[in-house]
Structure 1
Amino acid sequence: MTNRMPSASRRRFIAQGGAAATIAALPAFALQARAQARPLLKAGDQKGGLRALLEAAGGLEGLSYDIQWSEFPAAAPLAEALNAGAVDTGPIGDAPLIFALAAGTRVKAIGANRSDSYGTAVLVRPDSPLKSAAELKGKSVATNRGSIGHYVTLKAIVASGLKPEDIQLRFLAPADAKLALTQGSVDAWATWEPYTALAETSGHARVLASGRGLLPGLSYLAATDAAIAAKRPVLQDFLQRVVRAQQWSYRNVDAFSATLARIIGIPPEAAKLQFERRQQKWVPIDAQVVADQQGTADFYRQVGLIKQGLDVKTTFDTGFGIAAG
């Protein structure tokens, strides 16, 4: 057989040589290793709040890992995603976290924050004759099962001398619950920010009973046990970025509120109202945080939402420090 001269395209390939030829010659497992060189963090979010915060503050610059965002309308579907391993981490309130843990979700709180709980509230239509939580006896309240809206409803009626069975709970997602309230098919809607501020500023609802004085105002960044084991440095970096972004946001209220409104798609006045009154601050997971969370678990057991007592100490990972700033 005679030797043939390489074709023009073949000669160009050989001339270019180097990197292209090297990459082409790599076995499949080596190419996969290169593709996986940057870790992937699967981050859940509620109503775009966490992502909006980080984007507004420039908190996603210089990442050494990639983020795959998934947005959820409430904590319950986010908790389901954590349980399924569809996301590694996400923000979740104290009551929904209890509900998820009681259901067997393998997740821990790695960061804690406190905020004013006024925006976690039971809402009624502006023309409703109801004036207090005590008047909810025999009335219907829409909320997400196991949510902080569910929690504030029960806390408000118990504080008013009623029992859980004195009201009719209808478990609906936020959009459906709001529609049910505005159409008059339920008497009240129990929800949280930014839904509360949006309903107030749009004139669709007013606060009948707020969580201020009833709730500890705790929420968390939670992560699955699997993610903590495999991606601890990534989670540590992500948490610190969230903390720094929160500190930046309160130094730049107007700028952040405008960005928040644009990213999550609500009017600027609603974005600013819910942000300013929350006064959110990240705090160390200390004895008081654990005690307050235990109180929430005990209340859920008292009203029958969880069947067995829960020792919350084991549901925290205190190895993730909060940077001062």
Structure 2
Amino acid sequence: MNKSKRVQKKGRGWAVLLMLAALLVVSACSANNSGKDAGSNGTKAKTVRIGYQKYASVNIMKERGGLEEKLKEAGYVVEWTEFPGGPQLLEALNVGSIDFGHTGEAPPIFAQAAGAPLVYLAHSPESPKAESILVPENSPIQSSADLKGKKIALNKGSNVHYLLVKYLEREGLAYSDVEVVYLPPADARAAFESGNVDAWVIWEPFYSVAQLATKARVLADGEGLVKNYEFYLASRDFAKSNTKAVDVILDQLEETDKWAKDNQPEVAKLLAPALGLDAAPLEQALAHRGWGVIRVSDETLQAQQSIADTFFKLELIPSELKVSDAVIK
């Protein structure tokens, strides 16, 4: 091999090496940058895992958009997970699958009793008309007295569980006077429409959807019985270590509610495709709720303590608990 060919071969060898080196640099840069996309200051982004249910302010905030951009500025990316109800959402929080979520009043009581490391952050205003006890259109049940011995479906540990307790208490009936059947919303509606249960205690938007579709009658709603707060909760470790993210989420929820309160028909149209529902029942559901974000106070915790005490007396939770333990002091 002459000198010219040896030089050419050596040159090609260096070219290959340089190409490989360049590829390694690009690959390394891609790997290093993969976790930085959400960080406005070039630091690796953290992930906040948000659990949500169909309907309510967190769902509206997700569909409207805006939270991702605000959290990106603070160095976070978002992962969303949908749940059929509050108990299921808080079970995920308990096992560390999510960091932040929203539920009604009762689920945090059951979750705290089960040892979930949750903390209360804030809540919505009262929305007592956003849950009800439904009976079929042609049901012979006309009053509370007619419920004796009847089967009543509800999602165990949910807000409506407490509504039924307070309704029976007000009407002079014992919890044991009725047969409570624990079913999630989809199964409960099927049982309700087939006649396998006599009544259904349910929250929005399932309440309005079922009522308008089946012409079900409202035996009672939560007015005068329950406050029906929507609570915003987080795992204790997340709340303590990520105060910036918590503040961003709550601020964005407040902004979402201010917009939604004045634009309810638009909110219904926004949610309808995401929930697979018509806008009409969503408009009715939205009219039943309060809007705004209120930080948790001693008064709120005392109201939650009353729920916990009631559930303990009914042996629905295994031991007494102190609700105020579930706050960051």
Q: TM range, normalised to the smaller chain?
A: 0.7 to 0.9
Aligned to 1:42: 49
Give the distance between the partners of 1:25 and 1:277, measured in 2 at CA.
54
SS in 2 for 1:288: helix
- Equivalent positions of 1:132-171 (< 5 A) are 132-171=143-182
Deviations 1:94-129 (A, max 9, x none): 111111101111111111112321221111111111
Deviations 1:36-91 (A, max 9, x none): 81111111011254454114544335231211111011111111101111111110
1:5 matches 2:11: yes
Write the letter of the residue equivalent to 2:320: G
Deviations 1:212-269 (A, max 9, x none): 1111222211101121233332122112111210111012122112112222121111
- Equivalent positions of 1:22-101 (< 5 A) are 22-24=25-27, 34=36, 37-47=44-54, 49-60=56-67, 62=69, 63-64=71-72, 65-101=76-112
SS in 2 for 1:131: coil
Q: Which moved further from structure 2: 228-237 or 87-96?
A: 228-237
Q: 1:128 to 1:86 in 2, by over 3 A?
A: same
Within the candidate set 204, 213, 216, 1:202 is matched to: 213
**How many residues in Structure 1 have an aligned counterpart in Structure 2?**
314
Write the letter of the residue equivalent to 1:117: P
Q: 1:173 to 1:22 in 2, by over 3 A?
A: same
Within the candidate set 315, 318, 329, 1:304 is matched to: 315
Unpaired segments ≥5 residues, structure 1: 319-325
Give the distance between the partners of 1:52 and 1:25, measured in 2 at CA.
38
Q: Which moved further from structure 2: 170-179 or 218-227?
A: 218-227
Instruction: State whether residues 155 and 214 of structure 1, in contact with CA within 8 Å, keep that contact through their aligned partners in structure 2.
Output: yes
Give the distance between the partners of 2:191 and 2:217, measured in 1 at CA.
15
Write the letter of the residue equivalent to 1:5: G
Give the distance between the partners of 2:89 and 2:68, measured in 1 at CA.
25
Write the letter of the residue equivalent to 1:256: V
Once the two structures are TM-superposed, the CA of residue 31 in structure 1 deviates from its matched residue by 6.6
RMSD: 2.7
Instruction: State whether residues 56 and 256 of structure 1, in contact with CA within 8 Å, keep that contact through their aligned partners in structure 2.
Output: no
SS in 1 for 2:293: strand
Write the letter of the residue equivalent to 1:312: V
> Which TM-score applies when normalising by structure 1?
0.88
Q: 1:42 to 1:127 in 2, by over 3 A?
A: same
Aligned to 1:186: 197
- Equivalent positions of 1:255-274 (< 5 A) are 255-274=266-285
Instruction: State whether residues 243 and 282 of structure 1, in contact with CA within 8 Å, keep that contact through their aligned partners in structure 2.
Output: yes
Instruction: State whether residues 154 and 183 of structure 2, in contact with CA within 8 Å, keep that contact through their aligned partners in structure 1.
Output: yes
Once the two structures are TM-superposed, the CA of residue 204 in structure 1 deviates from its matched residue by 4.6
Q: 1:50 to 1:113 in 2, by over 3 A?
A: closer
Deviations 1:271-303 (A, max 9, x none): 111111212332232232122111111211222
| Percent identity over paired residues | 29
Aligned to 2:3: none
Within the candidate set 246, 260, 275, 1:249 is matched to: 260
Aligned to 2:131: 120
Within the candidate set 216, 221, 228, 2:232 is matched to: 221
Give the distance between the partners of 2:35 and 2:213, measured in 1 at CA.
51
Instruction: State whether residues 105 and 229 of structure 2, in contact with CA within 8 Å, keep that contact through their aligned partners in structure 1.
Output: yes
Q: 1:198 to 1:25 in 2, by over 3 A?
A: closer
Within the candidate set 265, 284, 291, 1:280 is matched to: 291
Give the distance between the partners of 2:68 and 2:240, measured in 1 at CA.
25
Once the two structures are TM-superposed, the CA of residue 154 in structure 1 deviates from its matched residue by 1.4
CA radius of gyration, larger in? 2
Write the letter of the residue equivalent to 1:47: K
> Which TM-score applies when normalising by structure 2?
0.87
Instruction: State whether residues 44 and 91 of structure 1, in contact with CA within 8 Å, keep that contact through their aligned partners in structure 2.
Output: yes
Once the two structures are TM-superposed, the CA of residue 12 in structure 1 deviates from its matched residue by 8.2
Write the letter of the residue equivalent to 1:136: L
Q: 1:289 to 1:106 in 2, by over 3 A?
A: same
Unpaired segments ≥5 residues, structure 2: 1-5, 38-42
Give the distance between the partners of 2:129 and 2:179, measured in 1 at CA.
23
SS in 2 for 1:5: helix
SS in 1 for 2:252: helix
Instruction: State whether residues 119 and 278 of structure 1, in contact with CA within 8 Å, keep that contact through their aligned partners in structure 2.
Output: yes
Once the two structures are TM-superposed, the CA of residue 7 in structure 1 deviates from its matched residue by 6.1
